[in-house]
Structure 1
Amino acid sequence: MRTDRLVAVLLLLQRREQVTAAEVARELEVSERTARRDLDALAMAGVPVYSVPGRGGGWRLVGGARTDLSGLTAPEARALFLVAGQATAATPAVKAALRKLVHALPEPFRGQAEAAASSLVTDPRRWGASRSEPRPPRFLDALQDAVIRGVRVRLGYVDREGAGTERTVHPLGIVAKGSSWYLVAHTEAGRRVFRIDRVTSAAPTGDPVHRPEDFDLAESWREIADEIDRRRTPLKVHALCAPDGMYLLRMMLGGRLQVGGSTPDGRIEVVIGGDHAYALAGELAGLVEWLEVSGPPDVLDHLASIGHALVARYG
């Protein structure tokens, strides 16, 4: 994080002409001691920065030295090298913009900035998955362009059942989840989500998008993801878990596990989501040492049946 902090400090000096260590610390959310070290590091790197002692003093750039990046805020500068510079995630346009950014920096920073830009790799694959890198969906660029320009799209789409449809949508945003890409759009039927790898055509109409004034993509996606999770796991199992079994339960179930309070005997109330009673019973059967399931009845019946089958085979 050091290089992007130094760039942020430099931009802050350009905007305000003079800053104190306390102001830098507040802006970058670091300690004053760290802020002072960063200001000293700027001077040591050859940036023309100097301190003004006494009351009303601070740090300044000699002669108001500037780059062409003064429009960036400190948080934007801090994010650039970690987001735009991800070696596996950046598009060609982002990489080109990052190169221009690096060349606009003072010479002492360029090598460090280029190193920072290639220091983070995002790998969405699970262990044991195919080594081949998933390709971006065919119409990703076209849909992203429609979102940016704010124009409607005539969208061809094939649903999970294989049925093809065509409709005009108002693209509102694009979300990457794991290795999959989704288009969030407004339609005649309300807000909808489309997997971009199922899109068969995407033709911009030129008509402007009707975007709700209070629309927030991140908040909208949270609502969508929560609803998808509810649909995927309509079955809820209630149980009590011994404290030393919670680590295994969290590791196995991830987001399908809801943790409640403790009972007088020290066990922990949990709710486990699933989509099929027998499959869920099969998952939980191996946790009988720590877990006591109280319902629903069909899961209890399946657990008993699995237990009898295990005893019959191995008992």
Structure 2
Amino acid sequence: MRAGRLVSLLLLLQTRGRMTAPQLAEELEVSVRTVYRDVESLSAAGVPVYADRGPAGGYRLLEGYRTRLTGMTAPEAEALFLAGMPGPAADLGLGPVLAAAELKLLAALPDELADRGGRMRHRFHLDAPGWFRNPEPTPHLAGLARAVWEDRLVQVRYRRWKTPREVTRDLAPLAVVLKAGRWYLVAACGDEVRTYRVGAVLDLVVRDDRFDRPADFDLAAYWREWTERYERDVYRGEARIRLTVAALEFMPFVFPPAMSRAARAAAGEPDADGWLETTVPIESVKHAHVELLKLGAEVVVLAPDELRDRITATAHALARLYPPAGTPGPDAPAGSDVTR
């Protein structure tokens, strides 16, 4: 455990440069006192670790010092090959680069680890898009990724859901994110940081002038907060329903994850007949009408009244289209013996 932590500390200093003891402690999930002891151990082992004093100080390695890729464990080698996603890398224009990097890594690893990494690639596959969804065309993804990497300003013509449908924006692109098979651009627009779907970008101009990235921008924190806010904003209402236990268990297969998770979390105890009550978040009455019909006769809408009225109207319309056996159908001529 400690040997692995010492290697991690060394690699952190090698890849990130100067870091303070509290920063190292946070990355390694240990106390600051432990960092002090680990740095002393590295120094005693001959690793040129130096401490810069003062407010802007911290630990750093001697300029030019590099450690070779040693001490890698078998699970770490396997994880590296599992993390290689050829589909997204190709979308970003990095397919050949990823393939070359994997070949170099294979050549650098001991035979046993290289073999384990190769077996991992042939036994596990990551497929990011959701079911029944064709890949969204993203012709401008590679250009946006290059602009993100080079900190270049861009101008995009973008299609959005509200009017005016097409708008032109000057953006400072900060990151691209792959979420559930769709690519998103995180960019500064004026004083705000916003998220744009890359597939909705109709035209792209990458400018020569660069911008200064916000020093305090944390991509992981921004994305976590944005996705949580997006889900809250999308599901602005709720419906009270009564449904069978079987329908509740079926929800994750046919409902959006946010709806099924909330419904299961709020579910009460089933009665003797296997029915229970719960609350489900909804985007709108129209949206909920479509989603709840997927559960057929195993759900009853209790509220709101508008949603209950819609479901009732649909049920009566279906009853007219599909009458009981032996009853004349709606398209049977008057006086006809034709039944359904």
Structure 1-normalised TM-score? Answer: 0.65
CA, structure 1 residues 196+287, in 2 after alignment: closer, same or farther (shift >3 Å)? Answer: closer
Is 1:107 matched with 2:115? Answer: no
2:195 alignment partner in structure 1: 193
2:249 alignment partner in structure 1: 247
Matches for 1:174-193 after TM superposition, within 5 Å:
174-193=176-195
1:83 alignment partner in structure 2: 83
Higher Cα radius of gyration: 2
Aligned-residue sequence identity (percent) comes to: 26
Q: Give the Å deviation of 1:194.
A: 1.7
Is 1:281 matched with 2:285? Answer: no
In the alignment, residue 138 of structure 1 is paired with which amino acid?
Answer: P
> SS of 1:251's equivalent?
helix
2:169 alignment partner in structure 1: 166
1:147–1:173 contact (8 Å) kept in structure 2: yes
In structure 2, list runs of 5 or more residues that go unmatched: 9-66, 90-94, 324-340
CA distance in 2, matches of 1:99, 1:74: 17
Aligned residues: 249
Q: Give the Å deviation of 1:102.
A: 1.0
1:12–1:73 contact (8 Å) kept in structure 2: no
Is 1:146 matched with 2:134? Answer: no
1:282–1:306 contact (8 Å) kept in structure 2: no
CA distance in 1, matches of 2:72, 2:194: 34
2:331 alignment partner in structure 1: none
1:48 alignment partner in structure 2: none
> SS of 2:256's equivalent?
helix
> SS of 1:122's equivalent?
coil
CA, structure 1 residues 72+240, in 2 after alignment: closer, same or farther (shift >3 Å)? Answer: same
CA, structure 1 residues 238+109, in 2 after alignment: closer, same or farther (shift >3 Å)? Answer: same
In the alignment, residue 144 of structure 2 is paired with which amino acid?
Answer: L
In the alignment, residue 155 of structure 2 is paired with which amino acid?
Answer: L
CA, structure 1 residues 207+13, in 2 after alignment: closer, same or farther (shift >3 Å)? Answer: closer
Is 1:301 matched with 2:309? Answer: yes
2:243–2:276 contact (8 Å) kept in structure 1: yes
Structure 2-normalised TM-score? Answer: 0.61
CA, structure 1 residues 13+303, in 2 after alignment: closer, same or farther (shift >3 Å)? Answer: closer
CA distance in 1, matches of 2:207, 2:122: 35
> SS of 1:304's equivalent?
helix
2:68 alignment partner in structure 1: 68
Is 1:262 matched with 2:268? Answer: yes
2:319 alignment partner in structure 1: 311
In the alignment, residue 195 of structure 1 is paired with which amino acid?
Answer: R
- Show CA shifts across 1:198-255 (max 9, x none): 3312424443433252x33233223322333344443421223332321122322132
Higher normalized contact order (CA 8 Å, seq sep 6+, divided by chain length): 1
- Show CA shifts across 1:54-91 (max 9, x none): xxxxxxxxxxxxx931497998655311112x343443
